[in-house]
Amino acid sequence: MQLFNYIRFDNLRGDIFGGVTAAIISLPLALAFGVASGAGPAAGLYGAVFVGLFAALFGGTPTLISEPTGPMTVVMTAVLTTLIATNPDNGLAMAFTVVMIAGVFQIILGTLKLGKYITLMPYSVISGFMSGIGIILIILQIAPLLGQASPPGGVIGTLKHLPELWSNMKPAETILGLLTLAILFFMPKKIGRYAPPQLLVLIVGSIVSVTLLADYEIRRIGEIPLGLPSIQVPTFTSAQLTTMILDGIVLGMLGCIDSLLTSVIADSLTRTEHKSNRELIGQGLGNLTSGLLGGLPGAGATMGTVVNIQTGARTALSGITRALILLVVILGAAKLTTNIPLAVLAGIALKVGFNILDWSFLKRAHRVSWTPTLIMYGVMLLTVFVDLIVAVGLGVFIANIVTIERLSELQSKNVKAISDADDDVPLSAEEKQLLDKADGRMLLVYLSGPMIFGVSKAIARENAAIQRYESIVIDLSDVPLIDATISLAIENAIKDAVEQEREVFIVSPSEQARQILERLGVFKLIPADHLALKRIDALRQALPANNQKPS
């Protein structure tokens, strides 16, 4: 694989400007996600630097901005909470090991060239789990928005403690949180072009907290002990290893989906085409490095990518510029975060959760069909109250079953058994004449289009009629694709006919169908001269020699 081929210097001004702008937007988000995850603001900044740098260097989407995202933070929060609860001494190190596992998993997927299959998922499922993640992120910010530490138990714990959280609300911090949300929701877009809202609320919130609200006790980030990160040695226990691997796979898969969907958005804005397998390798290297150096996991971020492109970026130099600027902040500007209120970061994270909600599909899904609507809401509720991997797995299973049932119903109409001229089947004049001449003693079984396993019932239904005919012609000339289940159904139909001493002829299957039927030994059931290249030849051969009806 050729490295660095997305780094060019023919768009230097646009790439640097895009990288600087993306860095300004990334800073408050990295701090917010770091605090929200429980790993700390430094982990958010390290993740923004290392995931972004390695994804830009080795990824397959030139303008993609990679950093900690809302969905990745939600999963990381659950992982961190669980591991610290079961292993207080090594829980944090084990969580970073899960990030490394996620990176390795992504590298394996990219190396095996499975990138193009990652997003082959029903949109109702994608919409459901992304909206579910948005709801989780919103719920988890309620406690810090009210000026209190998050209660144990995640979403369920927060909902159970809502009355207590409300009664113990700290007005000063709640005011800061509401001010943050007001700016983020209502700030005019014209102003947002020159001053990113996330950075603006950090500055405004900090100033208000040390001036107008100086007499109140307000929880703040404090000075972050940054600098060069220390290496996190992979840590695990035999009891937790299986759980950590599963968490790593979930985290890695979510990062893959998040990144590749954002890559598609980048393609539409730049009129280019990303390389999905290479992108997965780049994301994997970024997450592996981030976990090794104590950073949060990350993925392609839609907002940062769009802003990066809109401000002129066209090559990976923009992502590298953004990472280097954040690295300078980490090394030399740690004191600037001292007065940032936690309630402001909670407001920023809550707004991200609000943006993750798929409002467009939520409002219109029922107009299309109730089936995808129910799947979407089911996946969303399972994501919030049960588990992400259960939600996605069950959602994909149900959506695929529904799709297969519909396709099978449609394809069943392409299995036609006729003994006389039929306007639904494209027969020539001579073919119609031969069927009429057979006087109802010759059956033409005509299949067309791709044949998947759901159509086997339609073929099986014709078996009962086969014994009434003296000869049977099975026409596969218009079948481009056939699976093993259909092949076996055809084999059973031929065996039934042969046992009834009927003559069976097969018409020219496609190369793919021919190979499957040959491997199953279907052609051995009939004489070699009963395999015809054209339907007319098979009908001529199959035409009964006399008018005697089969007994």
Q: How many helices (H) and strands (E) does the chain have?
A: 25, 7
Nearest to 320 by CA among 56, 2, 68, 61: 56
The token duo for 301 is 């971020």
pLDDT on residue 135: 93
pLDDT on residue 420: 65
* Phi, psi of 373, deg, nearest 5: -65, -45
The secondary structure element, H or E, covering residue 331 is helix 317-332
* Phi, psi of 85, deg, nearest 5: -65, -40
> Facing residues of 446 across strands?
416, 475
| Interatomic CA distance for residues 141 and 351, integer angstroms | 10
Kindly report, residue by residue over 317-375, the tens digit of the pLDDT. 999 999 999 988 888 766 777 888 999 999 999 999 998 898 888 888 777 778 888 99
pLDDT on residue 145: 93
| Number of CB atoms found within 10 A of residue 398's CB | 18
CB-CB contact of 99 with 251 (8 Å)? yes
| Interatomic CA distance for residues 473 and 418, integer angstroms | 10
pLDDT on residue 136: 92
| Number of CB atoms found within 10 A of residue 336's CB | 14
pLDDT on residue 459: 77
Looking at residue 280, the DSSP 8-state letter turns out to be H
Please report, for the chain, the start and end positions of each structural domain, with discontinuous segments joined by +. Answer: 12-357, 414-542
**CA-to-CA dists, residue 542 to 431, 434, 479, angstroms:** 12, 9, 21
Mean pLDDT by 10 residues, the chain (551 residues): 62 88 90 91 93 94 94 92 90 95 97 86 86 91 91 88 93 94 88 80 91 89 76 86 93 92 88 91 96 95 89 91 90 76 92 89 80 90 86 87 80 73 70 84 86 77 74 87 84 86 84 83 88 88 63 41
pLDDT on residue 2: 46
The token duo for 488 is 């076996």
Fold adopted by 414-542: Transcription Regulator spoIIAA (3.30.750)
Q: How many CA atoms lie within 13 A of 393 on its CB side?
A: 6
